[in-house]
Structure 1
Amino acid sequence: MNGVIKPEDHDIMMGGASLGVCESFSSRRCSYFTIVREPYDRMISHYFFCKEGGESSISCDNKTIEEFAIDAGSIFFAQLALTVDCRCENNCNDLSKQPWHCSNDYKTYYANAEHKEEMLQYLVQHLDKYFAVIGLTEEYEVTLNLLQHTFGLPFHDRCHETRQNAGSYGTQDKRELDEKKTEALKAMQASQRVKEILHPDVVLYERAKEIYNIQKTKLFST
């Protein structure tokens, strides 16, 4: 390719059950990246998206935001702590044929539930080793630049003007929705149980921000 990296020569897999794919590749370079969101903000967005009829693995029917958050738990922590089983039978190096099927194995997660804090500290200490890039949703432009710089692919060039959220809310007045979100945040912050449930994701998010800022500093110093 004479040093030119072509997007069509690369494959990207995404989703909560993608961690584990790289460990299964033997003949291709593979790495992970993630873009994280402040846990309370993410939970509120998830809740109102569900209330608007959006697809959600967690039911929001007849639930308060506190009940929904308790049921959902620390999503990022669970994704990192779970054992992900990825299998491929044929054409494993040709992702255009979608040969890989990944699923979460919850046995490891629940078997170690009593050691959750130890698991959390381990993940915090190794978070920078899991991902080639950690981005933040609230710094979308810089995150795209980080991805483009790291992988040599046109993440920013192609995506920086694409800001339409697949989970946009179309039926509620924005001002009314913002007021509901503000009240939802207050309700979650007032709930000790919600604080306990979201604690792992809050800790991971703070560590992710530290890593992101280090990566950003390096980007702008080059």
Structure 2
Amino acid sequence: MVGANFTYPEGSWPGADSEVLYFFVHVPKTAGTSFLYRVVYPNFAPEEILGGVRIRTFREALQPVHRFAHGHVAYGLHWLTTRPVVYLTFLRHPVDRAISHYYFIRQCDPQKCRHNRYEAAMSMDLVTFYRQPPFQNEMTMMLAGIPWHKLQRYITHPTFGRWALQRACYNLQNRFACFGLQERFEESLQLLAHTFGWKILPKDVRAKQTRSRPRLEEVPPAIYRTLAELNELDMILYRFARRLFNERVRQLHLSSTSI
């Protein structure tokens, strides 16, 4: 059973069919690693999981044994396979996500794992970093789809952003079988468990945390407003996602708390 508003591209959700590929659109810094540890690893064997998905190598990497895949890749991998794809994702308050992502990049050890935005983050302050169009509204562009995510760095016209937002909202409501909110993580896991019948591991320490970063409530109001303006599409998308999430929680009679 999925949310009442969900419609699968072929007309119906493929359910537990062995050919189904579950794909987790992992937006950076949205509790994705915790999701993997508490939900994915307990329900899928290691050989069934394809991690670190990249668009260029997806066709060659995907094998019949794979039942679950994940990566920092936008919606749209169903265009690259004949298998039915069931999409999942997590979202987060855009300003909080932006702050966490910026400081996470700066704290990466370039000798162990060189983030492709490391030099930019190290050479710019928080606000200057997000004044760069390719770094803005990442949730919207990833949910809108691969073309939108790729073209964002080249097209800055407001109309492009509005179209991307419309597509992201549509996809979230109609193309994602289930999604969660980082700020309501436990409820999100309940929703996943109810939707797919998956078992959920007990709460544990998160595997990856950004160590030194200001909390959202510690951010000066002027910086908060600026980051919200620079990620306006994500702010609108997130408000839409919260309403949709509340509707689905109420439909399933799960305990709901406001944020």
Is TM (by shorter chain) over 0.5? yes
8 Å contact 1:66–1:188 — kept in the other structure?
yes
For residue 230 of structure 2, what is the amino acid of its counterpart? Answer: I
Partner residue, 2:6: none
Name the CA distance, whole Å, in 2 between partners of 1:76 and 1:105. 9
Q: Provide closer, same or farther for how the CA distance between residues 75 and 189 of structure 1 changes in structure 2, counting only shifts above 3 A.
A: same
Structure 1 residue 204: deviation in Å? 0.7
1:21 and 2:84 aligned: no
1:215 and 2:252 aligned: no
1:57 and 2:116 aligned: yes
Matches of residues 90-129 of structure 1 in structure 2 within 5 Å? Answer: 106-107=150-151, 110=154, 113-115=157-159, 116-129=161-174
The CA deviation string for residues 159-183 of structure 1, in whole angstroms up to 9 with x for no partner, is x4233141341xx5xxxx547x655
For residue 101 of structure 2, what is the amino acid of its counterpart? Answer: H
Q: Provide closer, same or farther for how the CA distance between residues 162 and 24 of structure 1 changes in structure 2, counting only shifts above 3 A.
A: farther
8 Å contact 1:40–1:185 — kept in the other structure?
no
Picking from 74, 86, 91, the partner of 1:31 is 86
Partner residue, 2:139: 76
Matches of residues 73-222 of structure 1 in structure 2 within 5 Å? Answer: 73-83=136-146, 106-107=150-151, 110=154, 113-115=157-159, 116-154=161-199, 156=200, 158=201, 160-169=202-211, 172=212, 177-178=213-214, 182-191=217-226, 194-220=227-253
8 Å contact 1:7–1:153 — kept in the other structure?
no
Name the CA distance, whole Å, in 1 between partners of 2:164 and 2:74. 20
Name the CA distance, whole Å, in 1 between partners of 2:79 and 2:218. 43
Name the CA distance, whole Å, in 1 between partners of 2:184 and 2:140. 21
Name the CA distance, whole Å, in 2 between partners of 1:161 and 1:39. 24
Structure 1 residue 200: deviation in Å? 0.5
Structure 1 residue 53: deviation in Å? 2.9
Q: Structure 1, unaligned stretches of length 5 or more?
A: 85-103
8 Å contact 2:74–2:143 — kept in the other structure?
no
The CA deviation string for residues 125-153 of structure 1, in whole angstroms up to 9 with x for no partner, is 44201211121111111111111111122
SS in 2 for 1:33: strand
Name the CA distance, whole Å, in 1 between partners of 2:152 and 2:182. 29
Count of equivalent residues: 186
The CA deviation string for residues 19-73 of structure 1, in whole angstroms up to 9 with x for no partner, is 22234443x4421011101000001111222232355432211321101222321
Q: Percent identity?
A: 24
8 Å contact 1:65–1:184 — kept in the other structure?
no
Q: Structure 2, unaligned stretches of length 5 or more?
A: 1-15, 19-42, 49-65, 255-259
8 Å contact 2:74–2:142 — kept in the other structure?
no
Deviates more, 1:43-52 or 1:111-120: 111-120
Name the CA distance, whole Å, in 2 between partners of 1:76 and 1:213. 19
Larger radius of gyration: 1
8 Å contact 1:120–1:200 — kept in the other structure?
yes
Name the CA distance, whole Å, in 2 between partners of 1:42 and 1:206. 14
The CA deviation string for residues 75-94 of structure 1, in whole angstroms up to 9 with x for no partner, is 1112133436xxxxxxxxxx
Name the CA distance, whole Å, in 2 between partners of 1:201 and 1:41. 11
